Amino acid sequence: MKDRLIRYSMQIAMLGQLLSLALITEKEFTLIKNKLMHDYGIISDLTS
């Protein structure tokens, strides 16, 4: 479980970098983040 959480966190961090560099839109960020949350079984987003 710990490894999955680390992998999820790394993917969210990279996704945030793409957003900050304007390589993806807010909508794309949200869609991808929600898909990652579903895939990794994350039920709460404390960063929003």
- Per-residue confidence band for 45, with pLDDT thresholds at 50, 70 and 90: confident
- Percentage of the chain modeled with pLDDT above 90: 85
Q: How high is the pLDDT of residue 46?
A: 77
Residues contacting residue 16 through CB under 8 Å, at least 6 positions apart: 29
Asked whether the beta carbons of 45 and 37 are under 8 A apart, the reply is yes
Q: How high is the pLDDT of residue 48?
A: 57
